[in-house]
Structure 1
Amino acid sequence: MKILVERSVLLPALAVVGGVVERRQTLPILGNLLLVAEEDGVRLRGSDLEIEISTRAAADVQEGGAVTLPARKLIDIVRSLPEDGRIEIKSQDDRASLVCNRSRFTLSTLAAGDFPSMEVPEAQVRLDLDRELLRRLLDKTAFAMAHQDVRYYLNGVLLELGGGRIVAVATDGHRLAKVVGAAEELSTTGESDPYQVIIPSKTVTELRRLLGSASERVRLELSDRTLRVELGETVMVSKLVEGQYPEYSRVIPTGLEREAKVDKERLRGALQRTAILSNEKYKGVRVTFDEGRLALQTQNPEKEEAEDELELDYSGERVSVGFNVAYVLDVLGAVDGSEVAIEFRNAESSAVWRGVGAEDEVFVIMPMRL
């Protein structure tokens, strides 16, 4: 194989596929990237056996072929080269050379034929989405998903499709995020609405990174075991989390008779200040809703205390609730508007948070005992 490729073209492509490569692998070849020289470019692929990402970069292909190169070393080398550099990559036997101007590197390779390829079953559901919509759904829910929980079905984001809408839900058992978006009708092969899949946490992270800010359409192809995502020249294939997601609607409290509204940025600032003296292990804050005012209080085992107060749009009896500071700050980061609405019942019940007027999103936070 022999190709000539611009550094400005190769580096973004490496960034797309390189994120999936783990620093420690069960198989040595998983530390490599596969490069396949095609007629008018080079296709790159990375995999960890759970997720596979491939993309294409324009290149002058002088000799076809395929090679695998050490991912981290290749990315670091290309990143270090001049921005306007033109790179020659040539492979022979178990070595590959990379030349740019007066810089020359020789890398060891592994057989391209040994690079794993994920099996993709026939899709049961196909859906085209606006890229910004999918990014919004994941950005607003990913913070609430669990990581390495024994309840493996919580280690990801649930996507529920059907009825002209797409719903994203994530929970770790202490908080829940649900966001709804409009979507076209599904193209299915016999499956009835709604269709549910659980996207693993690492896939969610990689997908959010790939979605970026462009507005082009995204194609989702789903089966019982895999998710396939097309974003222009980039294709991601991921295994799905097997199992039944909990009935999330039961976790969302209804009929909450008390509602308060508060400025988002002022609340964020007050929480960040009071959190300085909160218990480092539990990060609890006592939030007191009173007519016209919101009081925050934290304390720690050293008997240090912090208090803050801000204006509140609320008329009702005084209620004090304990919350995890980090959970509230995560919700504030997901809310778009300048004002937050909080619905609650008492100190023992979960509270519903959302941006004022944002009926398509719900954030539930369970109370803490302080």
Structure 2
Amino acid sequence: MKFSIERAVLVKAVSQAQSVVERRNTIPILANVLIEATPEGVSFRATDLDTEVVDRAPAQVERPGATTVSAVMLNEIARKLPDGALVQISSDDAAGRLAVQAGRSSFSLATLPREDFPVMASSEYSANFKAKADVLRRLFDKAKFAISTEETRYYLNGVYMHVAQVDGQPMLRCVATDGHRLARIDAPLPVGADEMPGVIVPRKTVAELRKLLDDDDTDIAVSVSETKVRFATPTLTLTSKVIDGTFPDYSRVIPMNNARKLEVDATDFARAVDRVATVSSERSRAVKLALDQDRLILSVNAPDAGAAEEELIVAYADDPLEIGFNAKYLQEIASQVDRDNAVFLFNGSGDAALIREGSDQSAVYVVMPMRV
């Protein structure tokens, strides 16, 4: 194998591929990236057996071939080469080495046989459709903060992507919850997604997916089966196993009859929560919301550190209410609001609150209260 590739192209391709590689591997080949050179170009493939990334890049291929080399090592070398350098890469299968040359720099890296590299088995996908990158980015970005990190509840360790009915119209929906807060985001259902099975996309895959979604106008090809999900652009393909579990019936925890309505500037609210929470060393310290006629008082009382209070002018015309929430949860939800105003709907001090982005019904958040 022998080819030449621009340094910037190499850095981008290798960094995206190696990001799925686990730092601690009991199987040496999983620390490697599979480099495959064909007359059409070069591909870089990496996997942790649950997730696989393939990045295709243009290159001048003199001699087709394939080998595997340390993903982290190749990434580090590529990053440290001079800007604008033309990198020549060649392999010597007999010696088990990969040569990397750029200008006066040269490296010789140990390789492992390509035959040992595990390639994720292809799957028969029951649904194939295309969606704009900005649509998928909104669905996953707004939901991912609520993904659970509790490994024992593994079925909550991802985003539940499925088809839902809203007023008789099918929608593409993403939901995430950790039992304390919930995010439910809707988008119009793309053509071809009607038969899509509901799947739980793992947390790591959601993080990797973000790299495919930078260009708003890019069409992302999405393929879904009962066991796998694949997202692809012309140059990058991300394939992942889905979480083998049943996502709970989240609709039961979304309050439907909360009548007390608070409307507040989302940015002002997030900053106020951040300020009053400063007196507490614990991020989970409860912030008390005291609501009265067009007035909201946020307060924190930390006996070991001090107390803080801030008043905001808001739109509120219902009965007075005092309720407490985890400060971190309030900030995370407020940071998702794209519109000027966040709308909070309350029932009582012991009941979950519903949060919307202004009049937009396509993004709904739920947060459980805390005792204060």
* TM-superposed deviation, 1:319: 0.4
Secondary structure of the residue aligned to 2:371 is: coil
1:130 aligns with 2:132: yes
Q: TM-score, normalised on structure 2?
A: 0.95
Per-residue Cα deviation, 1:133-181 (whole angstroms, up to 9, x for no partner)? 0010000000001123311110000001265420000000000000100
Structure 2: distance between partners of 1:5 and 1:113: 24
Superposition pairs of residues 101-140 of structure 1, within 5 angstroms: 101-140=103-142
SS of aligned partner of 2:361? coil
Is the 8 Å Cα contact of residues 279 and 299 (structure 1) preserved in structure 2? Answer: no
1:91 aligns to what?
91
**What is the aligned partner in structure 1 of residue 160 from structure 2?**
158
What is the distance in 1 between the residues matched to 2:24 and 2:361? 43
- What corresponds to 1:199 in structure 2? 201
Query: Who is 2:7 aligned against?
Result: 7
Deviation at 1:57, TM superposition (A): 0.8
What is the CA–CA distance in structure 1 between the aligned matches of 2:146 and 2:234, rounded to whole Å? 29
Residue 351 of structure 2: aligned partner:
349
Seen in structure 2, the aligned counterparts of structure 1 residues 242 and 313 have a Cα distance that, compared at 3 Å, is same
Distance 2:305 2:145 in 1: 31
Q: Cα offset for 1:262?
A: 0.6
Pick aligned residue for 1:272 from 268, 271, 274:
274
Distance 2:284 2:236 in 1: 42
Structure 2: 5+ residue stretches without partners: none
The number of equivalent residue pairs is 366
Contact 1:279/1:301 (CA < 8 Å) preserved in 2?
Answer: no
The aligned residue for residue 233 of structure 2 is 231
Unaligned 5+ segments in structure 1 are none
- Once the 2 structures are TM-superposed, how far is the Cα of residue 281 of structure 1 from its aligned partner? 5.8
What root-mean-square deviation, in Å, do the aligned CA atoms of Structure 1 and Structure 2 show? 1.4
> Which residue in 1 is equivalent to 2:338?
336
What residue number does 2:261 align with? Answer: 259
Sort the Cα spacing of 1:346 and 1:279 in 2 relative to 1 into closer, same or farther, 3 A.
farther
In 2: Cα distance, 1:212 partner to 1:60 partner: 27
Counterparts of 2:72 and 2:101, CA distance in 1? 17
Deviations along 1:302-345, whole A, 9 cap, x unmatched?
Answer: 15111111101001221011101111111111110111100001
Contact 1:198 / 1:241 at 8 angstroms: preserved in 2?
Answer: yes
- The whole-number CA distance in structure 2 between the counterparts of 1:54 and 1:318 is 56
Q: Distance in 2 between matches of 1:351 and 1:198?
A: 25
State the Cα deviation string for residues 9-35 of structure 1 (Å, max 9, x = none): 111111221211111112111111110
Does the aligned pair in 2 maintain the 1:16–1:210 contact within 8 Å? no
Q: Note if contact 1:277-1:304 (Cα within 8 Å) is conserved in structure 2.
A: yes
Alignment of 1:284-299 (within 5 A): 284-299=286-301
Q: Counterpart of 1:65?
A: 65
**Contact 1:274 / 1:297 at 8 angstroms: preserved in 2?**
yes
Shift of 1:203: 0.5
**Whole-angstrom distance in 1 between the partners of 2:212 and 2:150:** 23
TM-score (norm 1): 0.96
- C-alpha separation between the residues in 1 aligned to 2:197 and 2:54? 26
Picking from 170, 179, 184, the partner of 1:178 is 184
Instruction: Say which SS state the counterpart of residue 29 (structure 2) adopts.
Output: helix
Is the Cα–Cα contact under 8 Å of residues 177 and 183 in structure 2 kept in the other structure?
yes
- Partner in structure 1 of residue 173 of structure 2: 167
Answering whether residue 62 of structure 2 is matched by residue 27 of structure 1, we say no
* Bigger mean CA deviation after superposition, 211-220 or 103-112: 211-220
Q: Give me the whole-angstrom Cα distance separating, in 2, the residues matched to 1:281 and 1:240.
A: 31
In 2, the alpha carbon distance for the partners of 1:282 and 1:85 equals 49
Distance 1:210 1:128 in 2: 13
> 1:280 offset after TM fit, Å?
0.8
Query: Could you tell me which of 298, 306, 329 is aligned with 1:327?
Result: 329
- Tell me, in whole angstroms, the C-alpha distance in 1 between the residues paired with 2:215 and 2:175: 22
Residue of structure 2 equivalent to 1:78: 78
* CA distances 1:209-263 after superposition (whole Å, capped 9, x unpaired): 3212331111111111111111222111100001111111111000111101011
Cα pair distance change 1:279/1:254, threshold 3 Å = farther
Equivalent residue letter for 1:32: N
For 2:251, give the aligned amino acid: S
| Distance (whole Å) between structure 1 residues aligned to residue 229 and residue 296 of structure 2 | 45
Mapped contact 1:124–1:221 kept (Cα < 8 A): yes
Please say if residues 55 and 234 of structure 1, whose CA atoms lie closer than 8 Å, have aligned partners that are also in contact: yes
2:260–2:319: 8 Å Cα contact kept in structure 1? no
8 Å contact 1:18–1:46 — kept in the other structure?
Answer: yes
- Aligned partners of 2:215 and 2:304: how far apart in 1? 46
For residue 279 of structure 1, report the CA deviation from its aligned partner: 5.3
Cα distance change on mapping 1:187 and 1:142 into 2, 3 Å: closer
Secondary structure, aligned partner of 1:202: helix
Q: Provide the C-alpha distance between the structure 1 equivalents of 2:261 and 2:221, rounded to a whole number of angstroms.
A: 39
Q: Secondary structure at the match of 2:328?
A: helix
Distance in structure 1 (CA, Å) of the matches to 2:155 and 2:142: 19
AA matched with 2:7: R
Task: Check the 8 A contact 1:164/1:184 in 2, yes or no.
Answer: no
